[in-house]
Structure 1
C-alpha cells in the first residue's frame, strides 16, 4: 500500500478577488499532488482566473460565488470542499518554498497539542512579516520586537498563511462569516487557542509574499476598506467581551481623525472618517451588517 506524501495531507484554500494576475505564481509553487481549492468572490477577472486554474489542472477546484461574501466566508466555502487532515489558508499573492508543506506537517506531528501554525512569511526583501499583537489578547502576551529564531508558541496568527488541523477548524465553526474583512484571523486565533490548543510559529517553514503592482489610490476604495476595518475592529472586541477596548479604539481613532496631520491630508481624512463610520455602525447595530 502506497504511503501518502506529506504534501497530500493538506489542502490549500485560497480566496480570490480579482487575483488572476498573481494566482499563477502561487499555484506553480504548490506540489502537484496537493489538492487546491480556490474560492472566487465574484471577481471581474473570472475568465482569466479559470484559465490560470486550467493550466495547473490536476486536483484544483474552483468554487464560484455570485457575490462577494468576504474573506472568512470564502475560506469556509473553500474548506468545506477539503477532505485532508490539514488546511493551509494561503493568500493568492504568496508562494511556497519547495519544503514548506513538509516542514509545516513535521511541526504539527512534533507538536500534537498545537492546533494552528504560521510559517515564516518573507517579504520581497527577505524581511519576516510576523503578527506580534492583537487587541483581542492581553498586552502581556504580545511578542517582543526581536526576531524569532525557532519554533515558538505565539498569541495570534496571520491569515495570510494559516495552517490548521481541519478537525480543530471545524470544531470552532471556522471563520466567523459575519466578519467581512479584517480581524477575522484574530478572532479565529483566539477561539482556537482558548478551546483547542496552542498557536505556533514554525521558523523553518517559509512562505514568500509575492505581492503585485500597487493599485491606484481611490477615495471609494479607501472608504470601503477602512469602513470594514472600523466595523470589524469593534465587532470582534464586542464579541470577546472587551467593552473598554471598544471605547479605547474609538477614542484613539477619533483623536487621529482630529489631528492636524489628518486634517491637512485628503487620504488621512478619508481613511479615518470611514473608520469612524464603520465603528459607529458596529456600535449601534451590535455587529449586524444588515441591522
Structure 2
C-alpha cells in the first residue's frame, strides 16, 4: 500500500483511571497521527491534553473492558491503519514510520507488533499463549529480524482497519485478558502476523490501571473467566478444570501471606473460575 504517511495511522488507547500516564504516551506520538482516547467508564479527566493535537475522546458510560473499548475506538477511527497502544506504552522515535515501511516489506501481513521492551529495558516478546499448542511456542527474546509470529501482544498492535473490521474486531464477550490472543488467531486466518524488529516501543507493563488490591482482584477475576471462555472457544484441553486447579494453587501458595494485593489476586482468580458461565 504505497504512499502511506503518519496521518494514515490512528492511535487508539483504552483508558481506565490512567490520567497519570496518558500525557507521557501522547508526547511520544507524532503530531500528524490522530489519537482516540476511549474513556472506559468515565474514569478519566484528561487534564493535560495538548490543545493543538488531533485528539478525540470516546466516552463509555461503563467500564466495558479492553476489547470492547478497543472496538469503540476503532469504530471512530477514519484512517486505514490503527495502532492499539496501551496508556503505559511509549513510542520510540520513528516507530510508526518503521511499522508503515514494514507494510510494503510484508505484503501478506495483516497485523504487526513492534519490538517491545519493558520499562527497565529488558525484552518483552509474546512468544506463547494459552491458546497455542506448545509446538507453536517461539524461543525467548526478540527475533533478530522481521519474523512471522503466531500471536501478537495487544500492548502495541498495528493492524489494517479493513482486516480488523473483517474479523469483527475484538470478541466483545472477553472483558479482559486473552482478547489479543483470540484476535490474533482470527486475523491469522486472513494473513501473516509479523514482528517488526526496527519499530520500538517501551511498555511499563501492569501500570495502565494502577496496582491496588481492588484492581488486582478485578483483573484476576476476569483473567480466570477469560481463560475458560477462550479455552472453550479454541478447544484447549480441559479449560475449566485446569483453570480451577490453577486457582487452588494460587490460594494455597504461601506467597499470599506476603501482601494484601496477592491475596486479592488469588481470591479473585478463584472466584472467576468458580463463577464462570458459558456466554
Alignment TM-score > 0.5, same fold = yes
Question: Could you list the per-position Cα deviations for residues 252-275 of structure 1 after superposition, in whole angstroms to 9, with x for gaps in the alignment?
Answer: 332343345547765444322221
Give how far 1:215 is off: 4.5
Indicate whether 1:156 and 2:151 are aligned.
yes
1:34 maps to 2:33: yes
CA distance in 2, matches of 1:270, 1:210: 22
1:196 counterpart residue number: 190
C-alpha distance in 2 between matches for 1:176 and 1:42: 19
Aligned counterpart, 1:102:
97
Q: Distance in 2 between matches of 1:5 and 1:238?
A: 39
Structure 1 segment 122-141 matched on structure 2, within 5 A? 122-141=117-136
In terms of fraction of residues, the more helix-rich structure is 1
Q: Equivalent residue of 1:116, what SS?
A: strand
**How much has 1:146 moved relative to structure 2?**
4.3
1:201-242 deviation digits (Å, cap 9, x = unpaired) = 111000122576995632x33321211111111111111122
Please say if 1:207 is aligned against 2:220: no
2:108 aligns with 113
Bigger Rg, structure 1 or 2: 1
Q: Is the 8 A contact 2:9 2:80 kept in 1?
A: yes
SS of the equivalent of 1:80 reads helix
Structure 1 pair 129/146, CA: closer, same or farther in 2 (3 Å)? closer
Contact 2:25 2:91 in 1 (8 A): yes
- The answer as to whether partners of 2:17 and 2:209 remain within 8 angstroms in 1 is no
Q: Partners of 1:59 and 1:116 in 2: how far apart? A: 24
Measured at CA, do residues 52 and 263 of structure 1 come closer, stay the same or move farther in structure 2, by a change above 3 Å? closer
Alpha-carbon shift at residue 6 of structure 1 (Å): 1.9
Matches within 5 A, 1:217-236: 217-218=212-213, 220-236=214-230
Q: Which residue of 2 aligns with 1:249?
A: 243
Q: Evaluate the alpha carbon distance shift between residue 34 and residue 144 of structure 1 in structure 2; reply closer, same or farther with a 3 A threshold.
A: same
Task: Tell me if 1:169 matches 2:164.
Answer: yes
Secondary structure of 2:229's aligned partner: helix
CA contact (8 A) 2:227 2:239 kept: no
- Calculate the aligned-residue CA RMSD, in Å: 2.2
Q: Normalization by structure 2: what TM-score? A: 0.91
Is the 2:123–2:141 Cα contact (8 Å) retained in structure 1? no
Structure 2 equivalent of residue 52 of structure 1? 48
Q: Deviations over 1:20-43 (max 9, x none)?
A: 211111111111111111110124
8 Å contact 1:118–1:161 — kept in the other structure?
A: yes
8 Å contact kept, 1:257–1:268: no
Segments of structure 1 that go 5 or more residues without pairing to the other structure are none
Determine if contact 1:75/1:175 at 8 Å carries over to the other structure. Answer: yes
Partner of 2:174: 179
Match 1:69 to one of 58, 64, 67: 64
- 5+ residue gaps, structure 2, are none
Q: Distance in 1 between matches of 2:26 and 2:16?
A: 15
1:143 maps to 2:142? no
CA 1:237–1:12 in 2, change beyond 3 Å: closer, same or farther? Answer: same
| Per-residue Cα deviation, 1:136-158 (whole angstroms, up to 9, x for no partner) | 11111111124421111111111
Residue 234 of structure 2, aligned match among 215, 233, 240: 240
